[in-house]
Structure 1
Amino acid sequence: MSTVTTSGTWTAITPTPPNVSGLNTGHITWGNPVKGDDKSGYSFTGGTIEAKPNGSEQTLGTFTHQNFPIYGNGVDRFHVDLVVRIRFEEDDRDRDFSFRFHHFETPNDGPTPDDEVDLPTRVSKESVTIDGEEYAAVITGFKRNGEIVNRFLSPENGSNSADIVAVLSRVGAPDVVITTVGHKGKVKYTQADEYVEIVNRGTAHADISGWLLHADDPGQNFTFPPATTLKAGQRIRVYTNEIHPEWGGYSFGSARAIWNDKGDTAHLSDTKGTLVSDYTYGPGPS
């Protein structure tokens, strides 16, 4: 498979905060600094990766938020548009893929001063044809400190970075997989904070109502409730006995640990009982 080189340009910001500079470059800034010349802003740094149209998650580039106290003149929520240019070595051509970031400039003196960045647009509207198949780029999260998350929280007074993780996925189809099992909980005895992580790597939403997530032992089952939709690029978790709304709010509701620390397998089946995905860690169930 050929390699690709990525680069990024920030093309728009709406509604417009004061003192914007750097449009149509890889580094955009905004706001009137509270002190000195430290404005807030985004940058994108690309790199060279393999083009893998097989659902494998890869680093598209590195996102950096320069988060400094600013005066925003009342504009604290806005969208920032990014165009990622990908040069495919195989045919020496550039393709542009567009994404939108949503920014919340939180009050600097509030109880939660970290600024928030999320991705309302995870699937590029542009596509590329590889070996006769049409693919789009799908961002599946921010990778920071080894963990991939849906939303990026950026502490004040510094530059905070995360890799942008993406896949090349067939246009018009969902692709739901189990990505990991967090089997070593920190809650003593019950390990209520264990979880199974599931992501839709496809370009279309997936209706997973009635789908079954289970371990190998009897009674360790979770059924997704009616009207459960996993959006393209969305990542959720099903916890053993905790509720985390930021991850979908799903829980087995089990007072006992479910996932064996020495090894186990998580299974995901659709409403017909067809296995959609499984994930084994360690030597497997014992």
Structure 2
Amino acid sequence: MAKKTEATVEDKLRELYNLQLIDSRIDEIRNVRGELPLEVQDLEDEVEGLKTRLSKLDAHSDELSENIKSKKNLIEEAKALITKYTDQQKNVRNNREFNSLSKEMEFQELEMELAEKHIREFKAQIEQQKEVIDKSKKRLADKTDHLKHKKSELEEILKETQKEEENLMKMSEDHAKSIEERLIKAYTRIRTSVKNGLAVVPIERGASGGSYFTIPPQVQVEIASRKKIITDEHSGRILVDAALAYEQVEKMDKVFAKL
């Protein structure tokens, strides 16, 4: 049985750079979406918040209306009692009974005045709330319309990119499995620590791609020999020579075109 040939350093560098190209492609797709998913989520939360606020305002307005009805009933009851006491005064036997009924009538009149005062206050609150409700309804309509537009925008982008992104993610997973664990760990660590997600970069005009620190000529020769994995001393990125990078970009572009 033939012994399995161990991957050379060059093979490992090519696979690492392929993985970088795949992951960078995924990053590009996600950058196109940008903050849109978060915008949609924020708008959905805002719309729900406005609906809850409107529901509470409507419930409070209903409560105020019920309070007005209750106070009007109290006024009618007070009027009926005053009529009753007025009739009773006609048949009293002494001043004490007359004065007692007069006090009851005065109390009912005060109750009516207080109820009318409360009714005016409740009506003023309802008017104030009506303004708030109208503004909230307009804001809700505007936000709902904006949300609909943003959702449509997001759905369109997802429709265009979702399949490609899923295929690329599967490809990324498969490529990662073909690379030895210590290199994948290093790649992931570097990729998550740099802003642009570039963990493997080519030499461009004598400098490290992505950081632009000049690479000494002797180190450039070592990188071009593809005999060992070399990292940029400034950024920690894994370095490949420009020729290898060009070859892999051409190869992967053909792969991406089929997605």
- TM-score (normalised: structure 2): 0.18
The structure whose RCO (Cα within 8 Å, separation 6+) is larger is 2
Structure number with the higher strand fraction is 1
Structure number with the higher helix fraction is 2
- Computing the radius of gyration from Cα coordinates, the structure with the larger value is 2
